[in-house]
Amino acid sequence: MFIWQVATLSPQVGIKFSIPTQFNPKSRPPRRMAYRSSICRKRRLLKIFGSQLKSWEIEQTHMRFLDSFKRTPTLRLKALRESPGLTQEIIDNPQKSIGPIEKGFDAFEEMRHRFLSFKKDKYLENLEHYQTLARGQAPKFMVIACADSRVCPSSILGFQPGEAFVVRNVANLVPPHENGPTETNAALEFAVNSLEVENILVVGHSCCGGIHALMSMQDEMSSSSSFIKSWVVVGKAARLRTIAAVSDLNLDQQCRHCEKESINRSLLNLLTYPWIEDRVEKGMLSLHGGYYDFADCTFEKWTLDCKGCRPKVAGEYSIKNREFWS
């Protein structure tokens, strides 16, 4: 004899399914038992964090889960044993249920689910590794990337926890040593002197708003009350070099050129820090540039040839080991 209680699987999309609260292992439900779903069968698109999910695709996934649930006794028994968990919580506290996505999307509720998924699928599956990280870090890379939300180094390049020490700022700029303290060179000092990273990677990207602001400035850049303008002026050398090289191109094309040029200027600025220059000369540290084009998902990587650089003379540089990943 089956007694069914209704439980919500995913409040955001309004999926509902039935879980037995009483189960007799010797009996089975009718072979063609119908499972109810509250999903609307209209093929409307549900927008969740910028992605689009078709409701009929969600329903297919939902039904595959139910079919697996029906055919696997261990799942049913596990659900029965753990009834004080998710199922019982929903039964006891129905007022906490979240309505369909049309009535409002709770970003933090989604974030909570993502965290719990991370804990279950990654943290607990690699518990020994994460416990080792809790005792200390020894990354091989320091990454300086843009703060742009579309450019996450860990997602793009697959860095796992403990592999890269990352600092992000507007336009992925590295100020020269003489500019004084900033959060970027504070992070550099820690990464190079304390963590002793072996590689510094400066990652720029397409359609960079910070570079566009830099290229839109007037030649005579007076003091500004704008924090953005006061910061991106760090890239003035890249701007001037870009104008000298491609002044005949339109602004968008100039920006694309400057996006790469600013990476190389930042690599040269790294050599103005004595403790970075010292480790580079000893072969203990390498400086790399990277450019991510998210319009066509390509990545260009290169290494600064420090032996061919004369930044203190005329800002000259050469690069090597250029690669294009597509």
Would the pTM of this model clear 0.85, i.e. be above it?
A: no
C-alpha span between 263 and 290 (Å, rounded): 8
C-alpha span between 210 and 144 (Å, rounded): 14
DSSP helix/strand/coil, 158: coil
From first CA to last CA, the distance across the chain in angstroms is 58
C-alpha span between 316 and 202 (Å, rounded): 18
> According to the model, what pLDDT value does residue 306 have?
83
C-alpha span between 28 and 299 (Å, rounded): 55
DSSP helix/strand/coil, 202: strand
Burial class (CB in 10 A: 0-12, 13-18, 19+), 226: exposed
The length of the chain in residues reads 326
301-315 pLDDT per residue, tens: 999 998 766 555 556
* Residue 212 counted as an annotated binding residue: no
List of residues 6+ apart from 48 with CB closer than 8 A:
12, 101, 105, 110
> According to the model, what pLDDT value does residue 226 have?
85
Q: Helices (H), strands (E): how many in the chain?
A: 12, 10
Low pLDDT (below 70) residues in the chain: 1-103, 219-224, 308-315
Residue spans of the domains in the chain: they are 3-103, 106-136, 138-325
> According to the model, what pLDDT value does residue 61 have?
54
> According to the model, what pLDDT value does residue 321 have?
94
237-274 pLDDT per residue, tens: 999 999 999 999 999 999 999 999 999 999 999 999 99
Superfamily, domain 138-325: Carbonic anhydrase (3.40.1050.10)
* Residue 177 counted as an annotated binding residue: no
Helix (H) or strand (E) holding 295: none
- The closest alpha carbon to 262, from 145, 167, 141, 140, belongs to 145
* Residue 207 counted as an annotated binding residue: no
> According to the model, what pLDDT value does residue 117 have?
97
* Residue 305 counted as an annotated binding residue: no
Cα angle 177, 179, 182 (rounded to 5 degrees) comes to 90
